[in-house]
Amino acid sequence: MTTSASTSAPLIEKHTIGYVPPEDRHGKVRDLFTLWFGGNIAPLPIVTGALGVQLFHLNLVWGIVAILVGHLVGGVLMALHSAQGPQMGIPQMIQSRAQFGSLGALLVVLIAGVMYIGFFASNIVLAGKSLHGVVDSVPVPVGIVIGALGSGIIGIIGYRFIHVLNRIGTWVLGIGIVVGFGYILTHIQTDDFLTRGSFNISGWLATVSLAALWQIAFAPYVSDYSRYLPANVPVAATFWTTYLGSALGSSLSFVFGAVAVLATPVGMDTMDAVKLATGAIGPLMLVLFLLSVISHNALNLYGAVLSLITLVQTFAYRWIPTAKSRAVISIIVLLACCFAAVGASADFIGHFVDMVLVLLVVLVPWTAINLIDFYAIHKGQYDIASIFQVDGGIYGRYNPQALLAYAIGIAVQIPFMNTPLYVGPVSAHINGADLSWLVGLLVTSPLYFWLASRDSAYRRRLTSGKLAGSL
């Protein structure tokens, strides 16, 4: 589905956090498949997928089952957020003002922004190390800067260029990983490829959680990449193209990591195992993964910048951010991340991944509240003008019901957590499996629906006649 704007849309994105009017809508819904498929063929999901057999000692079959279950479940939540984009025409984080209020949403926006910056910084370190692995003469710090600049250029150009690159990347990376699978499976270097590891319930649950949390981590910014689509794009079309692209791409990468480490001697680093397992095509695979890191990392920079703009605009509500504003903030974030990454410890990526795991604990209740509010309470009908008002318009500065459900949603996860900062008693009892995300969803969703349904102010909003896009 396209509009006349498809052929005239500028390469450099002019909108930031503002509402995208109908005349500026463009693109095809199938682009969401290529964005999330191509973007998930990358080293970080490969390394994460290998943990099922490396850390949790599952065998290949049960590792694959756990990976598929996690992505298929988590992908539902991620795709439901994506389907909001064409209906709302605004970024995901600023839409949170409709659930939490103009000031109440600040905490969630800040948490999301820190998470994006963490992912961006981690990935430029990974890009630097990958470039050094491909070309020994390039020092890691230089590789970090090159990776950051590449992602920065893509992020500054914005939405349309990101989609174009991932259309290309889907074919190149998709073919590359299929060829990689073929090579590994015909050159297995171990005798215990199918027998190493076994089924254990704690390891299986932990692997399911890793895969599900991988999908949920996209929730705060997934609709940023569907908001330019025409408003009449069916919700189902947006959902399925996003869901299939993300679940399939992520599952392939996770399984690829598991296969690579099982096909090589025990104890190898995952990316070293990939290089060894893919033999003659190993260097080409590393180049493809390096390009994928640079391209996909632009999404993290883009999301971080939109979050920062949302934070500032909450207080400077008369400010109308432009493409120039987005470019300036992008450069500031890029320079800060480069400085931190180049001067950081050798375990920089590990520290940031640990931080992201902690942040996901506080993002899960937000996901539940946002989805319940959009699909069950407001049914997609919002007053966009109020969302941009300093006092929150009809949504107010704070929504006590959402904040209460959010706080309880965090609290109930604590016994089930397994993070570097704290391991809950339930998690410790099941050998470290982290089920906090599942508990958070199951408690927060009905609680928020009950609180919001009993709120007379919400009922007045629903009958006020103010619909989405009323500017």
pLDDT-derived band at 10, boundaries 50, 70, 90: low
pLDDT-derived band at 3, boundaries 50, 70, 90: very low
Q: Check which CATH number belongs to the domain holding 334 and give it.
A: 1.10.4160.10
Q: Tokens for 66, please give them.
A: 């756990």
Task: Please give the biggest Cα pair distance in the chain.
Answer: 68
**120 lies in which domain range?**
4-349
Q: Tokens for 162, please give them.
A: 């990101």
pLDDT-derived band at 456, boundaries 50, 70, 90: low
Asked whether residue 64 is domain-assigned, the answer is yes
Question: pTM of this prediction?
Answer: 0.86
pLDDT score recorded for residue 303: 84
What is the tally of structural domains in the chain? 1
Give the tens place of pLDDT for each residue, 351-402: 665 666 677 788 899 999 999 999 999 888 899 888 888 888 888 898 999 9
Q: Which of 390, 325, 363, 362 is nearest to 101 (CA)?
A: 390
Burial class (CB in 10 A: 0-12, 13-18, 19+), 452: buried
Q: Tokens for 268, please give them.
A: 């190898």
Asked whether residue 394 is domain-assigned, the answer is no
Measure the CA–CA gap between 392 and 163, rounded to whole angstroms.
Answer: 32
> How many CB atoms are located within 10 Å of the residue 339 CB?
11
Give the tens place of pLDDT for each residue, 79-90: 999 999 998 988
Please state the rounded mean pLDDT for residues 290-318: 83
Asked whether residue 140 is domain-assigned, the answer is yes
Asked whether residue 161 is domain-assigned, the answer is yes
Measure the CA–CA gap between 234 and 338, rounded to whole angstroms.
Answer: 41
Q: Which residue has the tokens 């599942």?
A: 438
Q: Where are the beta strands (DSSP E) in 323-433?
A: none
First to last CA, the chain: 25
Asked whether residue 446 is domain-assigned, the answer is no
Asked whether residue 246 is domain-assigned, the answer is yes
Measure the CA–CA gap between 17 and 94, rounded to whole angstroms.
Answer: 7
DSSP letter for 89, please: -
Asked whether residue 176 is domain-assigned, the answer is yes
- Contact in structure between 39 and 67 (CB atoms under 8 Å): no
Quick check: 220 pLDDT over 70?
Answer: yes
Measure the CA–CA gap between 409 and 388, rounded to whole angstroms.
Answer: 27
Asked whether residue 48 is domain-assigned, the answer is yes
DSSP lists the bridge partners of residue 423 as 418
Give the tens place of pLDDT for each residue, 125-175: 878 877 887 788 888 888 888 888 988 888 787 777 787 887 888 888 889
pLDDT-derived band at 466, boundaries 50, 70, 90: very low
Q: Which residue has the tokens 């400077």?
A: 316
pLDDT-derived band at 345, boundaries 50, 70, 90: low
